[in-house]
Amino acid sequence: MDHLPAQRSPRTTSFMIIWIGQAFSLFGSQLVQFALIWWLTQKTGSATVLATASLVGLIPQVLLGPLVGALVDRWNRRLIMLAADSAIALATVGLAYLFWVEAVEIWHVYLIMFIRALGGSFHWPAMTASMSLMVPEKHLARVQGLNQTLQGGLNIISAPLGAVLLGFLPIQGILAIDVVTALLAILPLLFIAVPQPRRGAEAAGTSAPARKSLWSDMREGLRYVWAWPGLIMIMVMATVINMVLNPASSLTPILVTEHFQGGPLQLGWIESAWGIGVVAGGVLLGVWGGFKRRILTSLAGLIALGLFIMIVGLAPASAFPLAVGAMFMVGIANPITNGPLLAVVQAVVAPDMQGRVFSLIGSMAMAATPLGLIIAGPVADLTGPRIWFVVGGIVTTALGVGALFVPAVVYLEDQMQAARQEVARTQVVELAADDPLTLPVG
């Protein structure tokens, strides 16, 4: 078992080795995502097809999130990441073969996107929940900033590189690159131990109770999240925002080709602008550190994100550079919004609950996105994609401003931290009552 005793220093070096392998894998995945979306765009020119592609990628996370979270908290997280990465690589090999023999159909692409999303729905909570056991709490926000910077940096590289590679390689060649980068992610996991959280009574040092059912674990995760009205409100906000913003994101290729009359190079520019912005936002967050109350940093980023995504939609066809600049600012707002919020949850949620909590957050945040995509595809085919950028920007800005006046949201971190400290104090008192020799002296 890969347990991490409470007194042992977090294995930050091991985490960074795993993180580097995952960074290579993410690079390959983004190349594949760009190539497949462009292939669908060129083959069909349909906003409905692109919306459907996004939809099949969301189904595993939305429908299986609570179950996945409970499994992540029960199973070995290292093995979960290994299995997820391996399944994604094998699925990609299968799709590469179909392209090679020229037998690929649109439904094949949908199926592979679904399998990749299913693997990701296990991998992300396992990786994120392991972070708090391998990285000191004071560095969690920095690592989240590093994650956001990585995401942006890869967008800078992968979008234009994907466009260039499509001119020199068949699409199965790009899929082969993804398989190689997946192997780089799998290799460290074969040799590095990932700590498992101690559960319940074991964490308190008491005798372990009978193992609970999977259903009980799922209900426990739901009760844990439901106990925090501020967290529930943030999840509801994320649900609404994703419902209006994710369709806009999936329709970006149509916006570029139909409204701005561009090609893969222009699509690469607008995605790279977002990536450069994310890098800049990650650096800004690392230097500035954000407001003392981290949730205020996230809300400020959310308001800025909404304003600039609205500008992308309002830019006239002759003002493509304006859209690129606005997308750069959207990128800056992204890590400022997400980084502090994820760090708050990692810092205050018990390690043995984080798989369930992160999966529930992801599931609820994406729950209404399929509805948005189902509506967005046909509407964008009739009216054009710009409306989704404008509406999404307005809704996002309004929710960010409104949350500033809700105490349950503004003081969420204080409330959760105080509750966790009270639980820890109660456990110490109970242990001391059982064994007087454990009482501190003086």
Residues 6+ apart with CB under 8 A from 188: 17, 18, 20, 21
Q: Is it the case that residue 118 has pLDDT exceeding 80? A: yes
Q: What is the dihedral of CA 337, 339, 344, 345, to 10 degrees?
A: 100
Q: Which helix (H) or strand (E) holds 335?
A: helix 320-348
pLDDT at 319: 94
> pLDDT over 70 for what percent of the chain?
83
Query: How remote is the C-alpha of 71 from its chain's centroid?
Result: 18
Q: What is the dihedral of CA 437, 352, 81, 190, to 10 degrees?
A: 0
Q: pLDDT tier at 282 (50, 70, 90 boundaries)?
A: confident
Rounded CA separation 11/17 (Å): 10
- Any idea which of 8-22, 162-176, 316-330, 423-437 has the lowest mean pLDDT? 423-437
Structure-token pair, residue 43: 């083959």
For the domain spanning 12-195+214-433, the CATH number is 1.20.1250.20
Rounded CA separation 33/86 (Å): 18
- Any idea which of 13-27, 131-145, 195-209, 212-226 has the lowest mean pLDDT? 195-209
pLDDT in tens, 397-435: 999 999 999 998 888 877 766 665 655 555 444 434 444
pLDDT at 339: 79
Q: pLDDT tier at 1 (50, 70, 90 boundaries)?
A: very low
What is the pLDDT averaged over residues 336-352?
77
What is the pLDDT averaged over residues 155-178?
79
Torsion-angle region of 293 (φ positive above 0: left; ψ -120 to 50: alpha; else: beta)? beta
What is the pLDDT averaged over residues 152-166?
73
Which residue is it, tokens 């599931």? 363
Nearest-CA neighbor of 362 among 58, 54, 55? 58
Residues 283-306 as b/e (b if ≥16 CB within 10 A, e otherwise) read: bebbeeebeebbbbbbbbbbbbbb
- Any idea which of 177-181, 209-213, 230-234 has the lowest mean pLDDT? 209-213
pLDDT at 74: 80
For residue 8, which amino acid is it? R
Please state, rounded to an integer, the average pLDDT across all residues of the chain: 78
What is the pLDDT averaged over residues 244-273?
84
pLDDT at 55: 78
- Any idea which of 37-46, 168-177, 331-340, 346-355 has the lowest mean pLDDT? 346-355
What is the pLDDT averaged over residues 318-322?
94
pLDDT in tens, 240-252: 888 888 778 778 8
SS3 199: coil
What is the pLDDT averaged over residues 90-119?
88
What is the widest separation between alpha-carbon atoms in the chain? Answer: 77
- Any idea which of 51-65, 328-342, 393-407 has the lowest mean pLDDT? 51-65
Domain coordinates in residue numbering, the chain: 12-195+214-433
Rounded CA separation 89/94 (Å): 9
Q: Is the model's pTM score more than 0.95?
A: no
What is the pLDDT averaged over residues 126-146?
71
Rounded CA separation 442/434 (Å): 19
State the SS3 of 406-436.
Answer: CHHHHCHHHHHHHHHHHHHHHHHHHHHHHCH
Residue 240 to residues 206, 224, 358: CA-CA distances in angstroms?
42, 22, 18
Q: Is it the case that residue 177 has pLDDT exceeding 70? A: yes
pLDDT in tens, 371-385: 787 787 787 778 888
Residues 6+ apart with CB under 8 A from 135: 10, 12, 15, 143
